[in-house]
C-alpha cells in the first residue's frame, strides 16, 4: 500500500508524522494533502537509508531537487558521491541521479545506499545505455526491456521516477506542425520521440500505463510525469506542443492518483516572467492540483554561466504562484556537467528562490528565519547573522576580509552604519 492509499484510508503513517514535524503543520494536514493528491511523499519502501523524507505540495514548504550524475566524458563514482554529500550539506531536499556514463547500476546503488534524502531517476537513460552496450539502437529496444529496467530500479529503492509518458504520437504530430526554434530539449523526451517515430507505435509508457502504475504502486515509487516537450527557448514557451503534452499529463496524473500511485507533474523549462503564472495555473487546473515540479523556469536564454540565477528568478516566481518543487539549475547548465562547487551554487540559488516564494505564499513559519536574521542585523550581532546564512563559510569569509576599526560595523558602511548613527 502506498502512502496515498493509506492516506485515503484515513491512516496517518509514521512517515506522514515525521515530515509534518519539520513543516509546522499537523500530520493530519499531510494525510489530507496526500489523499487529495496535492501532496506527495516520495519514499520507496526499499530505500532503507531514507533518513530525511519530505512532503512536496500545497501548503508545505517549497522543496528543491539537485541533479547529479555522470555522462560519458565524466563518470567517476567518487565524484558523484562527493556531489551527493554537497547536496546533503547544503540542504537539497531531494536528489536525482541522471547518470548516462559508466556503470549505471553500480553508481545508482551506491548513491541510494548513501542518500539520506529521496532519490529520483529517469529510467529511460539506463534502458538506452544498456541497449547500447548490446549494440541495440534506441528504436529496437523492446517494451519488455523497458519495463524490466523500471521494475529493477523500483526494487533497488529509487523514490521517484521521471517517466515521459506524455510524449505521445499525437503530441509529436502537434510538434511537427509547430515552428519551434529549439525542438525537443529533454533527453528523455528526445529518446521517446525517436522510438515512437521509428516504430510508428504509441509511447510504451502511455500505452501500458496501468502496467507502469502497478510497478510503482508495489514499491510506492512516486511518479513524476516528465515534460519531454518542454520549451527550450523563450521563443517556444507555452506553445502548442508544450500545452498538448501538459493536458495529457493532467489526465495521466488523475489516472495515477485514482489507482493509488503518488504523482507529480514536471514543468518547463524556458519561460518569460509574464507567462509563468499561466503555466502554473494550467498545470494545477488540468491535474486537479498535482504537485508541480519545475525545471527553472529560466526567464531568459542568455544566462549560460549564470543560469542558477536565471532559474532562481523563474523558480521564485513559479513557486510564489503555486509551484511546489524546484529543480535546481547550476552555473554550468547548457555548457557542461557541474562540479561539486557548482552543485553547491545551484542548491543555494534554488533555496533562496524557494524560501522567497514561501514568504510570498505565506507558508507556515517561513518568516521566522528572516525575522531572526534581521533582529541580529539590527543588533550588529555578526556571529549569529553568519550562523543563519545559507553558506556560513562564505558569509564569514566576506565579513572577516577587512578589519574595520569600529569592530561592530561591517566594512561596507563602517562609521556610516545606519544602525549605529541613530
Residues 14-53 that bind its own copies (CB under 8 A): none
21 vs 273, beta carbon nearer its own copies: 273
191 interacts with its own copies by CB under 8 A: yes
Segment near its own copies (CB under 8 A); pick from 54-62, 79-87, 279-287, 378-386? 378-386
Residues 384-413 that bind its own copies (CB under 8 A): 385-386, 388-391, 394-395, 398-399, 401-406, 410-413
Cell numbers representing residue 87 in the block: 547536496
Q: Where are the alpha helices (DSSP H) in 157-302?
A: 169-177, 187-199, 204-207, 209-219, 240-259, 276-286
Burial of 422 (0-12, 13-18, 19+ CB in 10 A): exposed
Nearest by Cα to 315 from 62, 133, 13: 62
349 interacts with its own copies by CB under 8 A: yes
Residues 287-326 that bind its own copies (CB under 8 A): 299-306, 308-310, 312-313, 316-317, 320
Report the residue from 120, 204, 226, 232 that binds its own copies according to the rule CB under 8 A.
Answer: 232
Residues 117-156 that bind its own copies (CB under 8 A): 125, 128, 138
Q: How far is the CB of 92 from its own copies (least distance, A)?
A: 15
176 vs 285, beta carbon nearer its own copies: 176
Q: How far is the CB of 56 from its own copies (least distance, A)?
A: 20
65 interacts with its own copies by CB under 8 A: no
Q: How far is the CB of 399 from its own copies (least distance, A)?
A: 4
227 interacts with its own copies by CB under 8 A: no
Q: What is the DSSP letter of 339?
A: P
Report the residue from 39, 40, 146, 184 that binds its own copies according to the rule CB under 8 A.
Answer: 184
Q: Estimate to the nearest angstrom the gap between the alpha carbon of 197 and the chain centroid.
A: 29
How many Cβ atoms are within 10 Å of 137's Cβ, its own excluded? 12
288 vs 370, beta carbon nearer its own copies: 370
243 vs 395, beta carbon nearer its own copies: 395
Which is it for the CA torsion 33, 39, 43, 44, positive or negative? positive
Report the residue from 52, 352, 384, 387 that binds its own copies according to the rule CB under 8 A.
Answer: 352
Helix/strand/coil for 29: helix
Q: How far is the CB of 7 from its own copies (least distance, A)?
A: 30
Site string for its own copies, 82-101 (x = CB under 8 A): ------------------xx
* 253 within 8 A of 287, measured Cβ to Cβ: yes
How many Cβ atoms are within 10 Å of 122's Cβ, its own excluded? 25
Residues 260-279 that bind its own copies (CB under 8 A): 270, 272-274
Report the residue from 152, 194, 211, 380 that binds its own copies according to the rule CB under 8 A.
Answer: 194
Report the residue from 182, 199, 238, 387 that binds its own copies according to the rule CB under 8 A.
Answer: 182
Q: How far is the CB of 185 from its own copies (least distance, A)?
A: 5
* Residue in this structure with the C-alpha cell 560595523, named with its chain if needed: 409
Cell numbers representing residue 126 in the block: 539506463
37 vs 331, beta carbon nearer its own copies: 331
φ/ψ region of 69 (left if φ > 0, alpha if ψ in -120 to 50, else beta) reads left
CA atoms within 13 A on the CB side of 89: 15
Q: How far is the CB of 101 from its own copies (least distance, A)?
A: 7
43 vs 299, beta carbon nearer its own copies: 299
Buried/exposed code over 71-81 (b: 16+ C-beta within 10 A; e: otherwise): eeeebeeeebb
* 279 within 8 A of 317, measured Cβ to Cβ: no
Nearest by Cα to 92 from 52, 123, 38, 60: 52
Residues 355-374 that bind its own copies (CB under 8 A): 355-357, 359-361, 367, 369-371, 373-374
Segment near its own copies (CB under 8 A); pick from 87-95, 178-186, 259-267, 287-295? 178-186
Q: How many residues bind its own copies (CB under 8 A)?
A: 100
Q: How far is the CB of 163 from its own copies (least distance, A)?
A: 17
Q: How far is the CB of 307 from its own copies (least distance, A)?
A: 9
* 81 within 8 A of 111, measured Cβ to Cβ: yes
* 56 within 8 A of 264, measured Cβ to Cβ: yes
* 234 within 8 A of 171, measured Cβ to Cβ: no
7 vs 309, beta carbon nearer its own copies: 309
Q: Where are the alpha helices (DSSP H) in 24-136?
A: 27-36, 77-89, 104-114, 123-133
* 328 within 8 A of 303, measured Cβ to Cβ: no
Amino acid at each position: 500500500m502506498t502512502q496515498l492509499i493509506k492516506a485515503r484510508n484515513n491512516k496517518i503513517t509514521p512517515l506522514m508524522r515525521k515530515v509534518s514535524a519539520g513543516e509546522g503543520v499537523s500530520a493530519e494536514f499531510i494525510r489530507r494533502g496526500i489523499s487529495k493528491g496535492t501532496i506527495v511523499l516520495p519514499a520507496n519502501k526499499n530505500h532503507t537509508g531514507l533518513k530525511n523524507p519530505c512532503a512536496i505540495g500545497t501548503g508545505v514548504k517549497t522543496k528543491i531537487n539537485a541533479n547529479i550524475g555522470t555522462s560519458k566524458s565524466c563518470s567517476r563514482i567518487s565524484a558523484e558521491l562527493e556531489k551527493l554529500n554537497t547536496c546533503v550539506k547544503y540542504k537539497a531536499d531531494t536528489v536525482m541521479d541522471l547518470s548516462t556514463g559508466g556503470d549505471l547500476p553500480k553508481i545508482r546503488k551506491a548513491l541510494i545506499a548513501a542518500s539520506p534524502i529521496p532519490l529520483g531517476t529517469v529510467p529511460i537513460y539506463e534502458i538506452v545505455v544498456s541497449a547500447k552496450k548490446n549494440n541495440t539502437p534506441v528504436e529496437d529496444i523492446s517494451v519488455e526491456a523497458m519495463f524490466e529496467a523500471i521494475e529493477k530500479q523500483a526494487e533497488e529503492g529509487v523514490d521517484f521516477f521521471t517517466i515521459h509518458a506524455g510524449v505521445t504520437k499525437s503530441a509529436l504530430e502537434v510538434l511537427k506542425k509547430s515552428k519551434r526554434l529549439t525542438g525537443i530539449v529533454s533527453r528523455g523526451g528526445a529518446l521517446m520521440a525517436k522510438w515512437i517515430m521509428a516504430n510508428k507505435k504509441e509511447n510504451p509508457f502511455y500505452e501500458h500505463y496501468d502496467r507502469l502504475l502497478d510497478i510503482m504502486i508495489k514499491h510506492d515509487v512516486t511518479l513524476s510525469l516528465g515534460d519531454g516537450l518542454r520549451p527550450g527557448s523563450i521563443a517556444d514557451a507555452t506553445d502548442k506542443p508544450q500545452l498538448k503534452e501538459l493536458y495529457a499529463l493532467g489526465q495521466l496524473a488523475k489516472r495515477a492518483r485514482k489507482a493509488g500511485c503518488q504523482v507529480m507533474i514536471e514543468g518547463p523549462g524556458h519561460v518569460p516572467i509574464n507567462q509563468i503564472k499561466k503555466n502554473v495555473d494550467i498545470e494545477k487546473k488540468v491535474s486537479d492540483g498535482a504537485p508541480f515540479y519545475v525545471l527553472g523556469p529560466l526567464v531568459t536564454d542568455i544566462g549560460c554561466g549564470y543560469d542558477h540565477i536565471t532559474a532562481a528568478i523563474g523558480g521564485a516566481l513559479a513557486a510564489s504562484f503555486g509551484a511546489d518543487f524546484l529543480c535546481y539549475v547550476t552555473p554550468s547548465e547548457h555548457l557542461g556537467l557541474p562540479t561539486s562547487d557548482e552543485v553547491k551554487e545551484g542548491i543555494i540559488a534554488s533555496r533562496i528562490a524557494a524560501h522567497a516564494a514561501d514568504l510570498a505564499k505565506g507558508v507556515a513559519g517561513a518568516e521566522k528565519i528572516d525575522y531572526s536574521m534581521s533582529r541580529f542585523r539590527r543588533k550588529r550581532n555578526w556571529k549569529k547573522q553568519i550562523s543563519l546564512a545559507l553558506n556560513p563559510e562564505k558569509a564569514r569569509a566576506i565579513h572577516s576580509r577587512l578589519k574595520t576599526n569600529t569592530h561592530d560595523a561591517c566594512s561596507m558602511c563602517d562609521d556610516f552604519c545606519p544602525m549605529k548613527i541613530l
